[in-house]
């Protein structure tokens, strides 16, 4: 019987990418890869992540932009010690940042 891996990060956790200069807050988790094959193959083979691990949907930011990112667990590190994420959609999905993580809004609870 296959055992599903427990996700290392949870919704509301602040993380940064291990290889690329961006960070974000987790807003959804896939227990394993759930994007398109085309997306996966577009990643250079030498850094392409395994599919059999959790993948995280992030409200991401770098020095130039805000965007959504889809990142494998192996490429994420905790980053709450660097403070809140400035992505403008954090206020839509989360109630606030307590210094450790964001508190998800209740469904239907929007400012």
Model confidence pTM above 0.85: yes
Closest to 23 in 3D by CA, of 100, 80, 99, 73: 80
CA 65 centroid distance within chain: 16
pLDDT one-digit tens code per residue, 49-86: 999 999 999 999 999 999 999 999 999 999 999 999 99
What is the per-residue pLDDT across 30-42, written as a single tens digit (0 to 9) for each?
Answer: 999 999 999 999 9
DSSP tally for the chain: helices H, then strands E? 2, 7
Give the number of C-alpha atoms closer than 13 A to the C-alpha of residue 12, restricted to the C-beta side: 13
Structure-block tokens of residue 81: 């010690």
So where are the chain's domains?
14-104
53: DSSP letter: S
82 phi and psi angles, rounded to 5 deg: -95, 10
Confidence of residue 4 (pLDDT cuts 50, 70, 90): low
């Amino acid at each position: 019987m296959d055992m599903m891996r427990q996700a290392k990060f949870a919704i509301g956790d602040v993380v940064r990418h291990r290889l690329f200069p961006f960070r974000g807050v987790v807003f959804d988790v896939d227990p394993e890869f759930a994007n398109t094959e085309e997306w996966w193959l577009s990643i250079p083979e030498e850094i392409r992540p395994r599919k059999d691990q959790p993948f995280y949907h992030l409200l991401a930011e770098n020095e130039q932009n805000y965007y959504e990112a889809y990142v494998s667990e192996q490429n994420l590190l905790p980053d709450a010690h660097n403070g809140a994420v400035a992505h403008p959609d954090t206020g839509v999905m989360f109630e606030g940042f307590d210094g450790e993580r964001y508190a998800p809004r209740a469904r239907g609870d929007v400012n």
